[in-house]
Amino acid sequence: MNETLHMLLVLFVASVLSAAALTIVYEKTQPLIEKNNGNSLDLELHEVLPNAEQFEEISFNVSGTNIVQTYKGLSNNRIVGYVFLSRTPGFSDYIKILIGTNKQQITDVKIIENAETPGLGSRITEDSFLSQFRNKDINTHEFDAIAGATISSSAVINAITETESFINKLHEQGKLQ
Amino acid sequence: MSFKDFITGLWEQNPIFRIILGMCPTLAVTNMAINGLFMGTAVIFVLISSCIIVSLIRNLVPSKIRIPVYVIIIATVTTIADYILAAYYPSIHKVLGIYLPLVIVNCIILGRIEAFAKTHSVGRSFLDAFGIGLGFTWGLILLGSIRELIGFGTIFGLTVLGSWYPQVLIMKLPTGAFITLGLLIASLNLIKKRKLPTE
């Protein structure tokens, strides 16, 4: 019995110490981590829609699509374009893709999160693949996949064509300013 | 403290080529040299910290529950490293992101704690962990370089073989890791065998 109590005590103390250490570090680092994430998202929004000076979240009815977040890009209080964040299933996990558009064209595309196979699927982040989307009319639906990374690159292409038709739908409904 | 504790992990007890431990990350992340370097760095950090902590408390933990206690320590150290990197070095965290959580289940760490840190002083445990960590890292980088050279024609992202080079898909996939690792271990064993008679 004594031995059991001793073991319980040691395990308890170890868990409490671990939880305490994690709590302290979490409290200290969380604000910084959130700031870093916010900063990098802001930078990435600027990258895919360079004309805009600032971005604001905007809500569209995105049900039934992989789009999870939409932003409008403003310059001199005029809307110069929109950015769509698509969360689409890839080969091993969801791929998060930022798609910038000025209503007529895709301005740029950026992969902000992926867990695809390094060296194969991860090539979707390379410019040689992403440059084909840049400044394309939003009615362009033919894009090249990557040999050896068909699933990952098709996922990105599908996310983009889906966003394109979503933009067209918003156009028809007159919801884009 | 002796220098031998450090050296032994580099060659005599190299986790990849001699004790064949930690095969899952070895096979999974070595399709490029840089991945090996990152994985190795993450392992060195967690290995050293966990071994030092275990060595410090080695007389306090009853042996029946030592494994859960060690696992708590490893998981805590890894998570703290994850938070600190994300907060202060976001660019490094972005690259190491996938590898850091994988370190928790790396059996080299539990292996070194069991085989060394739980019965040795802090100084010797540190040297042992550092040596094993470096041994793991150079093994990963060697494997990664060979696979990257044959698979992509590059090493550490630098083009070695020009655009004429037909990239070999199999070396980018886990199959290539098994083949390369097998051939490497075989040739290292051959070198060791040749050395024996003169020793």
What's the gap in Å between the CA of B61 and the closest CA on chain A?
7
B72 contacts chain A (CB < 8 A) = yes
In the prediction, which pLDDT does B179 show?
Answer: 94
Tally the C-alpha atoms within 13 A of residue B156's C-alpha that lie toward its C-beta.
Answer: 4
Q: For A80, which DSSP code?
A: E
Give dist(CA B137, CA B43) in Å, integer.
8
Spans of chain B below 50 pLDDT: 199
Answer whether residue A99 shows pLDDT above 70.
yes
If you measure CA to CA, which chain A residue comes closest to B64?
A7
Per-residue pLDDT, A103: 79
Are the C-beta atoms of A156 and A62 separated by less than 8 Å? no
pLDDT given for residue B11 in this prediction? 84
Using an 8 Å CB-CB cutoff, list chain B residues near A14. 68-69, 72-73
Give the Cα separation of B137 and B29 in Å (integer): 12
pLDDT at position B197 is 62
The arithmetic mean of pLDDT across residues A143-150, rounded, is: 88
Structure tokens at A137: 């009319």
Q: Closest by alpha carbon to A101, among A62, A55, A49, A56?
A: A49
- In chain B, how many domains are there? 1
Tokens of B135: 């041994």
Q: List the beta bridge partners of residue A67.
A: A86
Question: Is A49's pLDDT higher than 80?
Answer: yes
pLDDT of residue B198: 55
Across the interface, of B61, B73, B87, the residue whose CB is closest to A10 is B61
Helices and strands counted in chain A (H then E): 3, 6
What was the pLDDT predicted at B183? 94
Which residues of chain B are within 8 Å of residue A29 when distances are taken between CB atoms?
83-84, 86-88
pLDDT at position B196 is 65
> In chain B, count of helices (H) and strands (E)?
10, 2
Residue B118 DSSP one-character state: G
Predicted local distance difference test score (pLDDT) of residue B145: 94
Which residue's entry shows tokens 């980018």? B172
For A57, the token pair is: 């979240």
Q: Does B20 touch chain A (CB under 8 A)?
A: no
Instruction: Report the distance separating Cα A104 and Cα A140, nearest Å.
Output: 11
Amino acid B97: pLDDT: 66
Contact between A26 and B83 using a beta-carbon 8 Å cutoff = yes
Average confidence score pLDDT of chain B? 87
| Residue B154 β-bridge partners | B159
Give start and end residues of each alpha helix (H) in A95-142.
Answer: 127-130
Using the structure block, give the residue that is written with the tokens 């409904």.
A173
What residues of chain B lie within 8 A of the CB of A25, using their CB? 79-80, 83-84
The partner residue sitting opposite B69, judged by closest CB among A11, A25, A40, is A11
Mean pLDDT, residues A53-76 taken together: 87
One-letter amino acid of B81? A
Option in A18, A25, A115 nearest B83 (CB)? A25
Measured CA to CA, the distance from residue B69 to residue B49 in angstroms comes to: 14
A66: DSSP letter? S
**Residue A14 scores a pLDDT above 90:** yes
Q: Which of B60, B69, B80 sits opposite A22 (nearest CB)?
A: B80
Q: What is the mean pLDDT of residues A9-32?
A: 94
Q: Give ipTM to 2 decimals.
A: 0.78
Handedness of CA B146, B151, B153, B154 (dihedral sign): negative
Residues of A in contact with B65 (CB under 8 A): 7, 10-11
Residue showing tokens 């840049």: A134
pLDDT at B130: 95
Which one-letter amino acid corresponds to residue B19? I
pLDDT attached to residue A121:
85
Burial of residue A3 (number of CB atoms within 10 Å: 0-12, 13-18, 19+):
exposed
Question: Which residues span the domain enclosing B167?
Answer: 4-195
Q: Do A10 and B72 touch (CB under 8 A)?
A: no
